Amino acid sequence: MSEAATHPTTVLIIENDPGSGPGRLLDWLEERSLSAVVVRAWDGEPIPVSTDGHAALILLGGGMLPDADDASPWLAAERELLRATTEQDRVPVLGICLGAQLLAHTFGGEVLGKHGLPEKGVTELTLLPGAEDDPLLAGLRAKVRAIESHQDQITRLPTDAVLLMSSERCPHQMLRIGRSWGVQFHPEVSADRVRRWSVDTLRSLGFSPEDVIAEAERYDAELEQIWSGVFGRFLDLAGPREPAAALPLGA
């Protein structure tokens, strides 16, 4: 087997919305001498049938629900790719916002639209007991911050899921199924992107645009440090794995 086949140098990223790109992830990949293969599903680019040749799979956010196949017809293929990748445990998976909801929905959980109170901007998260020995989170302090941008949320976890984080407004902030992780928050978003958020949308949801931007700027360096480290641990797991060595989904 060739060196390239043994050690893939690309990460497959599915982009579900033109406003939810990979952001900081591209810089963090470059720091690891990895590159992104971005599939712009929202623009009609086809979803690959497998992750062969890639080191990991990342599913980005979007404003739709995970089963909104009529309006977003690529979601069915994305769910199939997610299911196959998770069940076969060939590469690790990270689902962000909609990506986390896709993970929950695909494996039997529930996601509801416009459920509960919205979260926008810097939000405090609480690590739960399941995080103590999680490969990505072990060693983090009990409270951390992240950027949020959602009102749709996971309302019931799959049976095999491990709950890792929660927040005051959203109980299901981070979950793991096997080597697939889902985060409701946005580790890839910097203060620069928050500055471009719609002022009218923030106000309509009950947020002060000035406060949201100020908080993002205040904590930008801290968020970069925390989530680049967590993402680095995710990449430490990257690379193909033989199906026979697969983890039980609830492990």
Q: Which residues are catalytic?
A: 97, 186, 188
Q: Which residues contact 73 (CB under 8 A, 6 or more apart)?
A: none
CA distance linking residue 171 with residue 199, whole number of Å = 27
CA distance linking residue 70 with residue 235, whole number of Å = 34
* SS3 category, 79: helix
Q: Is 246 left (phi over 0), alpha (psi -120 to 50) or beta?
A: beta
Q: Which residues contact 200 (CB under 8 A, 6 or more apart)?
A: none
CA distance linking residue 108 with residue 124, whole number of Å = 27
Backbone angles phi, psi at 163, to 5 degrees: -85, 130
Backbone angles phi, psi at 99, to 5 degrees: -60, -40
